[in-house]
Structure 1
Amino acid sequence: MGSVFLFDVASRQAQWLAVRQATISGNIANANTPGFKSSDVEPFANVLDKTQLSMAATDRGHIGSDTSQVRAVKVKKTDSWDVMHSGNSVSIEQEMAKAGDVNRDYSLNTSIVKAFHRMILASTRGGQ
């Protein structure tokens, strides 16, 4: 496994968040379109899983992650989208909640990048 670059991962998440926000906007724009089926993007965790990143343990005492205990969660019928009489499956309330999630995740992403940027700057100025 190669090096993991925080700024690259943060950039990928920012791109993913932009795509998800565009998808949410498209759903809201078509809220009154008969027969329109709402959509969402694949979760970012799944995108990260495809990159084959794993936690690095530099010492035998480090805690490892046991993925055998992770269970898949299936969408239940009661958790699915409501379908209107017109065949439209967009719920404005759910789309607004997803938009709030995107906003929160983007704020967290930028805060982490800013913090690491400050740490890099501090380490380069350390000798002055």
Structure 2
Amino acid sequence: MEPVYLFKLIDQQKSWLSTRQSLVAQNVANVNTPGYKALDTLPFARVMERSALEMAGADPLHMRPSPTETMAAAVKPAEGWETTISGNTVSPEQEMIKAGEIRGAFTLDTNLVRSFHNMWIAVVRS
């Protein structure tokens, strides 16, 4: 089992959350655009699975690792609740729910970093 680097993981999740927040804002901005298809990111766990490091071969005859996806490439069409007559798949209610989830995740990440920072300060002072 390899070590878990908490701060690196939180940084990666914040990057993913920023990407998702941008997509939600883009969806809301295009709520009345005819034919616009709502976008969302892959779940964070799937992004992490796809971006895991793989062993590289030193010999040209070794098997090559498959290319990894980045978080920016992990954009997919969102599963909309409804499609309007104009073909637009953005649901304002669904986008607001996603925005709330993003805010909650950012808050959780910030509180985790603050807690670990306070623990480090307590260890240094003792």
TM over 0.5: yes
Give me the CA root mean square deviation.
1.8
Q: CA deviation at 1:46?
A: 1.1
**2:90 — aligned with what?**
90
Matches within 5 A, 1:1-128: 2-52=2-52, 80-126=80-126
Q: CA deviation at 1:50?
A: 3.2
Q: CA deviation at 1:5?
A: 1.2
Hey, what's the Cα distance between the residues in 2 that align with 1:49 and 1:125?
38
Give 5+ residue unaligned stretches, structure 2.
54-78
Hey, what's the Cα distance between the residues in 1 that align with 2:12 and 2:85?
38
* Residue correspondences, number: 101
Q: CA deviation at 1:27?
A: 0.2
Q: Contact 2:28/2:95 (CA < 8 Å) preserved in 1?
A: yes
Give CA deviations for 1:16-71 in whole Å, capped at 9, x if unaligned: 11110000000000000000000100111112333559xxxxxxxxxxxxxxxxxx
State TM-score, norm by structure 1: 0.72
Q: Contact 2:80/2:91 (CA < 8 Å) preserved in 1?
A: no
State TM-score, norm by structure 2: 0.74
Q: Contact 2:36/2:88 (CA < 8 Å) preserved in 1?
A: yes
Larger strand proportion of the pair? 2
**1:61 — aligned with what?**
none
Q: Runs of at least 4 residues of structure 1 off by over 6 A?
A: none
| 1:41–1:116 Cα change, 3 Å | same
Indicate the percent of aligned positions where both proteins have the same amino acid. Answer: 44
